[in-house]
């Protein structure tokens, strides 16, 4: 996460303030997460561990690359979405969690996607950090949902392709450094990401017909694979 910081930000009281605000918001969200996990999952250890690890990574990235003097509602919203992902991670090890709770949390996390970007543009707080924060939160959300679908028996292991293709791409970049180059903004990439997460959430929905599960997984996997191949070919031509 955030492995390519575009630049280092000199640490001054003004640039440290967003980090302090981030930790303050994280403390509040962590308390809410602990209570929600205790009431619905029966234990809060796993979601809190995931949350603390994620906040540590985000805080480090903000300290070295965030260019604005305020945290902004945009990053607070993304942090809230990340908190929901931590909750879903806890649901993976909770045998008694209701499918409706998982569906509801995942749906809210998905519904808030886009609000952070809109708020960032409105407040003049657009940054590479914010874009990466949002993207990695989306990737983590997809991974958490796909693991839940697998462990709950809703789907087979093929669902992991939808949840972990982003991480496979990142892993491949360590073998083929050309994949580490930045990609241009792409409406195609954003649209297919939305379709990917929407598909995963639809598969959680208890009333989704079983007959629709396999065709939906196949179609979405093909779309996602095509999108990644387009980016891989673009990066390969750029590196040639």
Q: What mean pLDDT do residues 5-32 have?
A: 77
- 48-92 tens-digit pLDDT: 999 999 999 999 999 998 999 999 999 999 999 999 999 999 999
Which is more confident, 112 or 239? Answer: 112
With cut-offs at 50, 70 and 90, classify the pLDDT of residue 15. Answer: low
- 90-149 tens-digit pLDDT: 999 998 899 999 999 999 999 999 899 899 999 999 999 999 999 999 999 999 999 999
With cut-offs at 50, 70 and 90, classify the pLDDT of residue 11. Answer: low
Model pTM score: 0.91
Is residue 7 pLDDT above 90, yes or no?
no
CATH architecture of 13-239: Up-down Bundle (1.20)
With cut-offs at 50, 70 and 90, classify the pLDDT of residue 5. Answer: very low
CB 26 within 8 A of CB 160: no
114: phi > 0 → left, psi -120 to 50 → alpha, else beta; which? left
The residues, ordered by sequence, that sit 6+ positions from 38 with a Cβ below 8 Å of its Cβ are 44
CB 222 within 8 A of CB 199: no
* pLDDT confidence of residue 114: 85
Is residue 25 pLDDT above 70, yes or no?
yes
Q: What mean pLDDT do residues 28-55 have?
A: 96
Tokens representing residue 180 in the block: 């580490």
153: phi > 0 → left, psi -120 to 50 → alpha, else beta; which? left
Lowest mean pLDDT among 157-166, 178-187, 228-237: 178-187
H or E element in which residue 174 lies: helix 159-175
Is residue 8 pLDDT above 70, yes or no?
no
H or E element in which residue 57 lies: helix 45-65
CB 87 within 8 A of CB 129: no
Tokens representing residue 197 in the block: 């997460």
Alpha helices in 95-158 (DSSP H): 99-111, 115-123, 128-151
100: phi > 0 → left, psi -120 to 50 → alpha, else beta; which? alpha
What Å distances lie between residue 209 and 27, 97, 109, 172, 195, CA to CA? 40, 21, 23, 36, 18
| The Cα angle at residue 43 between residues 38 and 49, in degrees rounded to 5 | 105
Average pLDDT taken over every residue of the chain: 91
């Amino acid at each position: 996460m955030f492995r390519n910081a575009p630049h280092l930000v000199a640490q001054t009281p003004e640039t440290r303030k967003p980090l302090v605000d981030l930790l303050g918001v994280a403390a509040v969200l962590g308390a809410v997460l602990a209570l929600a996990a205790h009431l619905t999952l029966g234990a809060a250890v796993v979601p809190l561990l995931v949350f603390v690890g994620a906040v540590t990574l985000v805080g480090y990235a903000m300290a070295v690359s965030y260019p604005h003097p305020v945290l902004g509602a945009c990053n607070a919203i993304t942090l809230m979405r990340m908190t929901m992902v931590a909750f879903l991670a806890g649901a993976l090890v909770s045998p008694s969690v209701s499918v409706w709770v998982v569906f509801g949390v995942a749906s809210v996390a998905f519904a808030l996607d886009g609000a952070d970007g809109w708020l960032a543009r409105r407040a003049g707080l657009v940054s590479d950090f914010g874009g990466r924060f949002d993207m990695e939160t989306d990737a983590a959300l997809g991974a958490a949902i796909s693991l839940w679908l697998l462990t709950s028996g809703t789907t087979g292991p093929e669902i992991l392709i939808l949840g972990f293709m982003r991480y496979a791409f990142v892993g491949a970049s360590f073998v083929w450094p050309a994949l580490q180059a930045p990609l241009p903004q792409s409406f195609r990439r954003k649209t297919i990401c939305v379709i990917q997460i929407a598909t995963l959430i639809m598969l959680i929905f208890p009333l989704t017909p079983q007959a629709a599960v396999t065709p939906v997984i196949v179609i979405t996997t093909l779309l996602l694979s095509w999108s990644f191949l387009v980016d891989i070919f673009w990066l390969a031509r750029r590196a040639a």
